[in-house]
Structure 1
Amino acid sequence: MSQELPSTFKLLTIWLLILTAVFLAVLAWQHQRERPRFTLNERELRLQRGPDGHFHWPGRLAGRDTVFLVDTGATTTALPRALADQLGLRPLESLRSNTAGGVVDGYAAEVDLSLEGGLQAPRLRVVVLPTLDAPLLGMDVLGRLKFSQHAGEFTVERP
């Protein structure tokens, strides 16, 4: 019996190490898939469509790293309320917003926004919505740019 326990313990330890390695590899693979696919040169920047079918543009809000979902159907840049609370944004006025999910109550706020590639929007007026899942980069910012979308790429001429 005393010889069985160490052998069983060794096998159990080996299997636990293998399963842990597989688990960590899957986590690393998922993290890599979720990273924005972003390339930049002196003339343009390109965003590759993500695994979720959307374009994601890295940037900063009030100095905090943020990844925006590019939404050409959104009139205004919108933020989830939880993110606005973390950034300490103060409501300027209450508002109602027509979203794909219906009419939602929110508020307007101002925040300094910067995007990878050099685009700056200081004191940008944004909409803060309670049920939003991710920050949306709307046409209030995108409309300032010359961009095109083709074959899974979102290309922006550098300002």
Structure 2
Amino acid sequence: MRYAQGGGLTAERRRMREQIRFEAGERFARGERNALVAKDLRVSERSVERWRRAWREGGTTALASAGPPKLPKLTDDRFAELEKELARGPAVHGWEDQRWPLARIRALIFWKFNLDVSPAAVWRLLHRHGWSWQSPARRALERDEHAVELWKKDVWPQAE
């Protein structure tokens, strides 16, 4: 099942699901059947079977949430360090131009933190921290801004 935020339940939804499992545990203790528990809690019988097995082996504590399935590889403190390095610019790190493609950021993460991540993971990391994709404006080297402004002011209104 895929979730709206692209990877799992929110903390609030995890707590809600945990409460449902705890309620199922109370019903297991009273000896209720799986089908009745599943119907009342509006979950599948397979889930109830899985929960009952966990409850039998570890009690109510086995029904507790295990937390988010995957924590970010870079903590917020480490990401702040990465942002400082990105602000220094690519030239400081040995690249000739002033672009930060994902492959370069990935290499920087590897050099700085000895952490190998995929380009997709780099994108998700940047996106999670409010970064967005930027495209440089393509302008002719011979562009004369003064002439362009004059054309916009004088010629363009007559063309309409």
Q: TM-score range by the shorter chain?
A: under 0.3
Q: Relative to total residues, which structure has the larger strand share, 1 or 2?
A: 1
Higher RCO (Cα < 8 Å, 6 or more apart) = 1
Q: TM-score, normalised by structure 2?
A: 0.19
Q: Relative to total residues, which structure has the larger helix share, 1 or 2?
A: 2
Q: TM-score, normalised by structure 1?
A: 0.19
